[in-house]
Structure 1
Amino acid sequence: MNTQTTEARSTFAVWRRRESYLFRFDLALEELVTRRERRSILREIRDNIEVDAAARGIDAALDSLGSPRALARSFAEDGRGNRPSWVRAIYWFTGLLLLWWTLAFTFTAGMLSVLMDSGTESAESYFLGLSVSAFNRDGGIGIGWEASSLLAYIPLIIMVTAAVIAGRLWRVLARRR
């Protein structure tokens, strides 16, 4: 009966479960060991999961490993927990960048909507120090952004600062000493 449920389960679902677990394990492992060690450990864990999943099913194989973070901690050597996390820094920077772009575009689209409703040809405004312009003419519609002052770079400075703090990137300098 167990072999039928294992075989009946789609290959994609098994692959997705395994890769999701390995992705979370890789993120947790990134801060604890070097890249070379991480690749070797990931290869070993992937092979173990495949063998165990073939025998007992993917659910039992992943349950026996425990949480990805706890498994990653078991591979850590003493004093290695203070490594910078480049992936976390990239996620924070990208997330804040996408949030800022979404807010800026929403503001600009709202400006353009008001222009279209009021019949006005063009307008200019500021969004967090960024000069925003929109126009609605017979030839078409358009929007524009111009970073002409230092205030326009404050969101970028905030994004970089958040990435440095989230990823503990100052550890790179501390390791070189």
Structure 2
Amino acid sequence: MTTATTAPDRPGLRDRLRRDWFRLRFELAMQDYPPKDYRRIARSLVAEIDAAAADTGMEQALRDLGSPRRLAAGYHAELGRERPRYWDGGLVLGLVLLGAWLCLLAYWGGAADTLLAQGGGTVTLEYLGAPTTVTATGDELSLGTSLTLQGVLVVGGLAAVGFALGSRLWRLLPRRTASAA
């Protein structure tokens, strides 16, 4: 006769989804926390949630923890200073590049439309340091552009400023403390 050892019950799909949704919101709120420490905290949080859920149910266990943002704020208060938010910076960087690309498309479209309104022709224009030749006639529509160092520097500068502002890079600078006079 063999005896079976019972493993702790694995939470059901609905409970796992609730737990993972809570953990995702907690992770977003903790994005500027030191990664090594965050991984340790996240592992222990999941273990605590599962242990509490085994006793009281997942819904009550998550309710007892409160808001993921408020929980993250408690951990941030222990750090003593704010850190950059690199994911936010990456998002702003992407939006800046998307905006520059959409403006470029609108610029090209406007140039082609203007040429067509004047009966067609060819014109060479410059957008953010990149020379572009636009040809628009009743039979043809073409665009030709080339990459220049000036264009790379302008777009790279815009992207860098967007990333720095979005991620709040100034948080890396050491804080000055008021000296006693």
TM-score by length of structure 1 reads 0.64
- The whole-number CA distance in structure 1 between the counterparts of 2:168 and 2:90 is 12
Q: Cα distance, 1:47 vs. partner?
A: 4.5
Kindly provide the CA deviation profile for residues 142-166 of structure 1, in whole angstroms up to 9, marking residues without a partner as x: 3233454747733431321231233
| Matched-pair contact (CA < 8 Å) for 2:29–2:69 | yes
Q: In the alignment, is residue 133 of structure 1 matched against residue 130 of structure 2?
A: no
User: Counterparts of 1:59-98 in structure 2 under 5 Å?
Assistant: 62-76=62-76, 78-98=78-98
Partner of 2:167: 167
Q: In the alignment, is residue 157 of structure 1 matched against residue 157 of structure 2?
A: yes
| Matched-pair contact (CA < 8 Å) for 2:19–2:58 | no
| Matched-pair contact (CA < 8 Å) for 2:120–2:138 | no
Q: Cα distance, 1:170 vs. partner?
A: 4.3
Greater helix proportion: 1
Question: Which structure would you say has the larger Rg?
Answer: 2
- The whole-number CA distance in structure 2 between the counterparts of 1:62 and 1:143 is 57
Q: What runs of 5+ residues in structure 2 fail to find an aligned partner?
A: 1-11, 176-181
User: Counterparts of 1:1-177 in structure 2 under 5 Å?
Assistant: 15=17, 18-32=19-33, 34-49=34-49, 52=53, 56=57, 62-76=62-76, 78-115=78-115, 120-136=120-136, 141-148=141-148, 150=150, 153-172=153-172, 174=174
* TM-align CA RMSD: 4.0
* One-letter code aligned to 2:32: E
* One-letter code aligned to 1:24: R
- The whole-number CA distance in structure 2 between the counterparts of 1:24 and 1:94 is 22
User: 1:77 and 1:111, CA in 2 relative to 1: closer, same or farther beyond 3 A?
Assistant: same
Q: What runs of 5+ residues in structure 1 fail to find an aligned partner?
A: 1-6
User: 1:62 and 1:91, CA in 2 relative to 1: closer, same or farther beyond 3 A?
Assistant: farther
TM-score by length of structure 2 reads 0.63
Q: Give the number of aligned pairs.
A: 163
Kindly provide the CA deviation profile for residues 32-56 of structure 1, in whole angstroms up to 9, marking residues without a partner as x: 3x21111122233345556639x64
Q: Secondary structure at the match of 1:82?
A: coil
